[in-house]
């Protein structure tokens, strides 16, 4: 049932402008949806958050980078030989979803929701043959039980799912205020772009001709529309009106606000500010070692979201006791990564 149906705002496909109140004898009351939900803050969604450039930047630094690294199984002697590597680490049952893409979206789940859920197909030995990511819209945790498509599922040894909890809180929870603030900043910048002039007041100077509210609204809308025109630098005001600008625009205010928004979002996810394309006072005064910033990113940010996957897949219901699973970051950390393109003769 949709929210409009739940509040009886639709009737056979037709809109109803009010709802019945149990406190009056009138059939319809003046209660409107805005009054009912006034002051209520709805949960932030991923779709809203990802539209913030700083959030997209952080997500795109972390999720694809981790997702495309190979997963390998190790024991006390090191990396297992290829013949002993579990098949779910390098293959997928899907004809279109590669393991790299799947793990990228698992990291996405960890970033935004703080957890991810994997469907598992097990072999006769009880260990996974293949894994698939279950979309967050399909699963919930209710009273400690995991439900997929509203049906209970089993987790652990012999289970049909693998629950991957994150190391840190979900960005949609702890970062909701910062992200909403960033969206407000974007809206303010967009509004200033549509009207790139200081805040303006149009004042009536003649007392003998009181303007009606509709007339005032028409004057303001006409002036605003004219200012959006490429040739709208000249305006005409009728007799009895005067215009006053309440200060010059301050683009630096918006630049600083957007800059600090990037720093704040990066702080939630452990990403250094320079990698978020944000500037700091230190950056303007001293030389920053970019290699050092990348090293901080590898040490502080990547383990926050690669670690939950590695350690969950290392438990005894996924690999035999004595084995563990890790992302192979060798090529990422290497000073000279192995060439993968076709050789080119100089």
Other C-beta atoms lying within 10 Å of the C-beta of residue 107: 25
Query: Looking at the predicted structure, is the pLDDT value of residue 131 above 80?
Result: yes
Q: What pLDDT does residue 274 have?
A: 83
pLDDT digits (tens, 9 = 90+) for 225-252: 776 665 555 666 676 677 766 555 555 6
Contact between 258 and 189 (Cβ < 8 Å): yes
Q: How far, in Å, CA of 272 to CA of 274, rounded?
A: 6
Task: Tell me 242's DSSP state.
Answer: E
Hunting for tokens 């394309």 — which residue is that? 277
Q: What pLDDT does residue 27 have?
A: 45
pLDDT digits (tens, 9 = 90+) for 301-314: 999 999 999 999 99
Q: What pLDDT does residue 228 have?
A: 64
Q: How far, in Å, CA of 213 to CA of 337, rounded?
A: 69
Lowest mean pLDDT, pick from 30-39, 141-150, 166-175, 334-343: 30-39
Maximum mean pLDDT: which of 61-70, 198-207, 234-243: 61-70
pLDDT confidence of 1, banded at 50, 70, 90?
very low
% of the chain residues with pLDDT over 90: 46
What's the token pair of residue 115?
């957890």
What's the token pair of residue 345?
């003769």
Q: Which residue has the higher pLDDT, 255 or 280?
A: 255
Contact between 328 and 338 (Cβ < 8 Å): no
Q: Which residue has the higher pLDDT, 341 or 153?
A: 153
Q: Which residue has the higher pLDDT, 253 or 219?
A: 219
* DSSP assignment of 5-73: HHTT-EETTEE-S----TTSSSSS-S--HHHHTTT--PPPPHHHHTTSHHHHHHHHHHHHHHHTSPEEE
Q: What pLDDT does residue 225 have?
A: 74
Query: Looking at the predicted structure, is the pLDDT value of residue 293 above 50?
Result: yes
Query: Looking at the predicted structure, is the pLDDT value of residue 135 above 60?
Result: yes
pLDDT digits (tens, 9 = 90+) for 73-122: 999 999 999 999 999 999 888 889 999 999 999 999 999 999 999 999 99
Q: What pLDDT does residue 119 have?
A: 96
Q: What pLDDT does residue 6 have?
A: 39
Hunting for tokens 């630096």 — which residue is that? 252
pLDDT confidence of 50, banded at 50, 70, 90?
very high
Contact between 162 and 153 (Cβ < 8 Å): no
Average pLDDT value over all residues in the chain: 79
Handedness of CA 336, 338, 342, 345 (dihedral sign): positive
Strands 151-152 and 145-148, bridge-based pairing: antiparallel
CATH architecture of 197-206+213-248: 2-Layer Sandwich (3.30)
Q: What pLDDT does residue 5 have?
A: 42
What's the token pair of residue 60?
């795109």
* DSSP assignment of 80-130: PPGGGS-GGGT--S-SS--HHHHHHHHHHHHHHHSEEEEEEEE-TTSSEEE
pLDDT digits (tens, 9 = 90+) for 154-197: 998 889 999 999 999 999 999 999 999 888 887 777 766 666 66
Q: What is the mean pLDDT of residues 318-324?
A: 96
Query: Looking at the predicted structure, is the pLDDT value of residue 272 above 50?
Result: yes
Q: How far, in Å, CA of 152 to CA of 171, rounded?
A: 27
Q: What pLDDT does residue 241 have?
A: 74
Other C-beta atoms lying within 10 Å of the C-beta of residue 345: 3
pLDDT confidence of 213, banded at 50, 70, 90?
confident
Q: What is the mean pLDDT of residues 6-34?
A: 43
């Amino acid at each position: 049932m949709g929210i409009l149906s739940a509040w009886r705002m639709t009737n056979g496909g037709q809109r109803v402008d009010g709802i019945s109140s149990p406190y009056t004898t009138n059939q319809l009351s003046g209660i409107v949806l805005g009054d009912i939900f006034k002051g209520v803050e709805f949960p932030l969604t991923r779709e809203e958050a990802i539209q913030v450039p700083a959030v997209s930047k952080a997500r795109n630094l972390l999720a694809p980078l981790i997702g495309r690294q190979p997963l390998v199984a190790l024991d006390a002697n090191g990396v297992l030989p290829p013949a002993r590597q579990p098949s779910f680490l390098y293959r997928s049952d899907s004809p279109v979803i590669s393991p790299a893409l799947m793990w990228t979206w698992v990291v996405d789940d960890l970033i935004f929701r703080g957890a991810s859920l994997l469907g598992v197909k097990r072999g006769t030995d009880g260990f996974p043959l293949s894994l698939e990511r279950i979309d967050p819209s399909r699963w919930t945790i209710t009273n400690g039980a995991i439900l997929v498509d509203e049906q209970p599922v089993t987790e652990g040894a012999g289970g049909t799912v693998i629950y991957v909890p994150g190391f840190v809180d979900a960005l949609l929870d702890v970062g909701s205020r910062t992200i909403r603030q960033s969206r407000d900043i974007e809206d303010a910048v967009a509004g200033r772009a549509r009207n790139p002039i200081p805040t303006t007041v149009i004042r009536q100077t003649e007392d003998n001709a009181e303007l009606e509210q509709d007339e005032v609204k028409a004057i303001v809308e006409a002036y605003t529309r004219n200012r959006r025109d490429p040739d709208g630098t000249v305006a005409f005001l009728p007799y009895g009106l005067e215009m006053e600008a309440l200060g010059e625009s301050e683009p630096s205010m918006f630049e600083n606000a957007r800059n600090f928004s990037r720093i704040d979002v990066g702080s939630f996810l452990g990403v250094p500010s320079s990698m978020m394309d944000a500037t700091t006072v230190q950056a303007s005064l001293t030389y920053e070692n970019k290699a050092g910033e990348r090293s901080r990113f590898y040490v502080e940010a990547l383990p926050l979201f690669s670690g939950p996957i590695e350690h969950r897949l290392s438990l005894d219901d996924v690999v035999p006791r004595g084995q563990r699973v890790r992302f192979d970051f060798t090529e990422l950390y290497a000073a000279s990564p192995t060439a993968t393109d076709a050789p080119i003769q100089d």
